[in-house]
Amino acid sequence: MRLISREIFWPAAAPGVNTYGDSFYVRPTGVAKMCRRAVETKNDLVDVVEYGFSDDNGATWSALRPTTVFETFPDGSTLRRWVLPSFVDPVNGRLLTLYNEAVMPHDDALLDGMTNTFLKYRVSLDGGHTDVVDETIIQRGYTPERPLRGVVVGKNAVMLGDNGCEPIRTRGGRLLVPVQVCPLGPDGTYANPGGGYSYHEAAVLIGQWREDARFDWELSPYICNDPEASTRGAVEPTIAQFPDGRILMVLRGSNDAKPHLPGYRWYTVSHDEGDSWAPVRPWTYDTGEAFFSPSSMSQLLTHSSGAYYWLGNISPTNPSGNAPRYPLYLGRVDPGSLRLVKDSLCEIDTRRPGEHEAMTLSNFHAQIGRAHV
């Protein structure tokens, strides 16, 4: 692999302001795309999201249009939404958009986000221009107040961790959505047994399409990491299904607050399309060698050629919590061992002379491109 070019999609809105950008296809075939631009002025809280459309594979874009992701209420609380890149079902062509939503009494991502966030989804039949469904994800037999097994809005939260938490459609026709849940402790409140910034367990939502473009939802067993090995648990899962049917999940971990622990990437495997998962272990190279990775998101990608790739940060030495979030690498995943092929690693970017040591090459979104047809 070799890097062809580097271009900035959206420049920062202002110094010290995070500006996110992503684009994705909105049909199973062809080159029609949607893009989003998001601006974050408070940690993990987005104030502005705008979106546009392209009919020429992203060569040109329509004028951006805003969508509501931030509202304040008379009682002082704040509605926050975090919208992730959309997923087009390769079989029926429906466009699925998933997003986190929370009403935050203090507008604090940690204090309120870990106890009030729940999931919603939208479905479009016209490539994202309009939605025919926009509703809360509720497991069959549950309620809006208790939308999923083990989740009580106001006590703990379920959320999409980051842009790498993309759905997949399995060979059996299921839609799997990798999510993370803030666990409840014995006293019925949010628990943080690792002592890091936050603590999560992973899971997959298992969706079956209905004729009315809605879903019947179930939830897999929770996927837990040892808080003595990863202080933030099992975070920001990304998944891919391999030719033999196995599903690989790669997870963010952390040594936040305990920097003597090794900062690894973690993984688990399902042999039954998400119904059960193996114990979590450190992810390694195909050589069996462990590698260091900071606490940051990553993404698995499936190429039309049949190759599988992982995009994420790898550190030359043991990281400290989230840092450093560079360099950024792309590498192949071996479909037999489900490990990262060390000799395939390609450096996408890294910190350059003059750039701040706290700069990050993370919170990205990647998609396999298409040729004009």
Phi-psi region of 213 (alpha: psi -120 to 50; beta: other; left: phi over 0): left
**Does a structural domain hold residue 370?**
no
Mean pLDDT in residue range 7-18: 87
- Contact in structure between 247 and 270 (CB atoms under 8 Å): yes
**pLDDT digits over 259-277, tens only?**
999 999 999 999 999 999 9
pTM: 0.97
**Does a structural domain hold residue 185?**
yes
**pLDDT digits over 34-91, tens only?**
999 999 988 899 999 999 999 999 999 999 999 999 999 999 999 999 999 999 999 9
The H or E element containing residue 116 is helix 113-116
Count of the separate structural domains present in the chain: 1
> What pLDDT is attached to residue 372?
61
d(CA 162, CA 150): 21
Mean pLDDT in residue range 349-363: 93
Report whether pLDDT(1) > 80: no
Amino acid letter, residue 231: T
- Contact in structure between 219 and 202 (CB atoms under 8 Å): no
**Does a structural domain hold residue 355?**
no
**Does a structural domain hold residue 2?**
no
Report whether pLDDT(307) > 60: yes
**pLDDT digits over 157-168, tens only?**
999 999 999 999
Neighbours of 279 (CB within 10 A): 10
Report whether pLDDT(212) > 90: yes
The confidence band for 13, taking pLDDT boundaries of 50, 70 and 90, is confident
Kindly tell me the burial class for residue 260, based on how many C-beta atoms sit within 10 Å of its own C-beta (0-12, 13-18, 19 or more). Answer: exposed
Mean pLDDT in residue range 322-350: 98
Handedness of CA 92, 35, 84, 338 (dihedral sign): positive
Report whether pLDDT(293) > 90: yes
Q: The domain spanning residue 274 has which CATH number? A: 2.120.10.10
The radius of gyration of the chain from alpha carbons, rounded to an integer in Å, stands at: 20
**Does a structural domain hold residue 199?**
yes
> What pLDDT is attached to residue 4?
85
- Contact in structure between 18 and 39 (CB atoms under 8 Å): yes
**Does a structural domain hold residue 363?**
no
The domain containing residue 102 runs over which residues?
A: 18-349
Mean pLDDT in residue range 12-37: 94
Q: Which of 225, 236, 152, 153 is nearest to 193 (CA)?
A: 225
Q: Which of 152, 92, 132 is nearest to 214 (CA)?
A: 132
- Contact in structure between 254 and 319 (CB atoms under 8 Å): no
